[in-house]
Structure 1
Amino acid sequence: MYYHVNGELVPADEATVSVRDRGFMYGDAAFETLRVYGGTPFEWDAHRERLQRTAETLGFADAVPDDLRDRVDETLAENGLDEASAKVSVSRGVQPGKLTPGADVDPTVVVTCTPLPRGGRDGQRVWDDPAAVQTVRTRRIPSEAVPADVKTHNYLNGILGRLELRRAAGNREAADECLMRDMDGNVVEGATSNLFFVTENGLRIPSDDLDLLPGVTRSVVLDLAREESFPVETGHYSLDAVRDADEAFLTNSTWELRPIASVDGIEVGTGPMTTLLQRLFDERVEAEYY
């Protein structure tokens, strides 16, 4: 494998960044994970805009290079990959080892990739089974402390949630995803995924005004649901509302739409709306990328 590091393609085992890089030292970096179909990054503009927004929030808006898409394409081509997950990272770069950032930024820009199976109508899921989901005590960091709508290298919140799953499992297999709540007890999202659930009244999703990261795939699925005139409601929901749902699923760039088999051991499972949205998503990918 070859990765793109600061404008150069290098073998993966030689790809390094400085131990004084602020992305390593403080999580002072922005990133995006992209699904690649047929050699083309899915929803590139949306991912690029969110990366830019994160960099602006962190105070290094000019660090995102204009040729970032070219670097992604070069990385995919060098590795002969048309189906992949690609990750782009932009850090503030190397600076003196103090917390306050310096005004001058020499960013570190890295592109990595991982092979994935084909997507679309004739594709293969990257997951084997619907997800077992478990609620954790770890709460989502309030946006008043760390903005929830930016995607930085500091993923400790999600890591702590996933570690909680491991501790709870003991000698058993851990759940596939944790379900996190905000400080008021509202269900918000998973460690790396957005939540959808279905009731007799339609499709329900936690509102954007909660402490969550609105995902790119989440946005696409919402568009598909509205195009089909599905009743869609965004709001503040309790854990019981999700446990009592008729259907539920998770979304992210790699999983696409992954049905939820159970929440805290309570069976939820897939259903007609989840199945239809999966098909519509696959058909959109097929039409636009193959």
Structure 2
Amino acid sequence: MTRTVYVNGEYLPEHEAKVSIFDRAFLMADGVYEVTSVLGGKLIDFAGHAKRLDRSLTELDIRKPIETDALLEVHRELVRLNGIEDGLIYLQITRGAPGDRDFVFPDPETTNPTIVLFTQDKPGLADSPAARTGMKIISIEDQRWGRRDIKTVQLLYPSMGKMMAKKAGADDAWMVQDGYVTEGTSNNAYFIKGNKIVTRALSNDILHGITRAAVLRFAREAQMEVEERNFTIEEAQSADEAFITSASAFVMPVVEIDGVALGEGTPGARVARLREIYLDESRKAAI
């Protein structure tokens, strides 16, 4: 089935969708994005993604082309038009296409931002086999730009990191800066020791994950201790359990880091419980 996508106010068959070659996302990676999960035909944590989108646009001084209520309706309409039960909605907003290439930002009064949304149909999204087997992780040097708190479309190095992991026979990579883990290539990173969850504190060094915020809130409600601080790969390797979070993976166990198995080398009970809680509570709050 041909997907229906959304481009600058129009719902179009995907093969009819076009964006200018002068769009600054194409030429300069000058744009931001969000990915919202769909479970049971409903949006997971849309409000959190919309709030982070606003922050990203503000940080880059990109004019917001659509109000949040209208954006919610676009999401819902794409879910309806494409018959999405479980899947993802990708949203991208760029500074627009001024008609030629220039390092200087175009005048926002004469250049409209570009907005694009499309769906990805993923039946059984919440029943990933990786949740039962766990992920193997390698560590790589973090060579990204310094403003990782802005969810930009500058994803080349994370993509390279995933390919490094694939070449090494692993599932993903955690990035390390000055000896400490920042985050995964497309996810936040954690380990559990005893009853304590350790993850890096929010700053410009990592993405302020929407799933991260929810999972840490649920963990505290479940009487788990949360410590937000820098940690090393060696600390994580000596942990009882480890995991990652993201909008599409939810809570995913990590069972091996740089060839060192955690615990029995199988997903642990605490991560399994966190995943269960997150999915249950997120489904209840979905819109």
- Tell me the equivalent position of 1:251: 245
Q: Structure 2, unaligned stretches of length 5 or more?
A: none
Q: How does 1:139-158 map onto structure 2 within 5 Å? A: 139-141=142-144, 143=146, 147-158=147-158
% same residue: 26
| 1:81 aligned partner | 84
Pairs within 5 Å for 1:34-183: 34-66=36-68, 67-95=70-98, 96-104=100-108, 105-118=111-124, 124-125=127-128, 127=130, 129-137=133-141, 139-141=142-144, 143=146, 147-166=147-166, 168-169=167-168, 174-182=169-177
Distance 1:46 1:252 in 2: 13
Q: Matched residues in 2 for 1:216 and 1:203: separation?
A: 17
2-structure distance, mates of 1:286, 1:164: 34
Tell me if 1:275 matches 2:277. no
Contact 2:93–2:114 (CA under 8 A) maintained in structure 1:
yes
Point out 4+ residue stretches in structure 1 off by more than 4 angstroms. none
How far off is 1:127 after superposition? 4.0
Contact map agreement 1:127 1:255 (CA 8 A) in 2: no
CA RMSD in angstroms, aligned pairs only? 1.9
Distance 2:42 2:171 in 1: 28
- Which SS does the other structure have where 2:170 is aligned? coil
Consecutive unaligned residues of structure 1, counting only runs of 5 or more, are: none
Which amino acid is the alignment partner of residue 47 of structure 1? H
Contact 2:137-2:165 at 8 Å conserved across structures: no
What's the CA shift string for 1:205-230, capped at 9, x where partnerless?
11113611121111110011000111
Length-normalised TM-score, structure 1: 0.89
Tell me the distance in 2 between the aligned counterparts of 1:212 and 1:140: 13
Contact 2:32 2:56 survives alignment (8 Å): yes
Q: Which amino acid aligns with 1:141?
A: R
Q: Deviations over 1:227-248 (max 9, x none)?
A: 0111111111111001111100
The alignment of Structure 1 onto Structure 2 pairs a total of residues equal to 277
- Are the aligned partners of 2:138 and 2:170 in contact in 1 as well (CA < 8 Å)? yes
Amino acid at match of 1:124: D
Closer, same or farther in 2 for the Cα pair 1:140/1:227, shift >3 Å?
Answer: farther
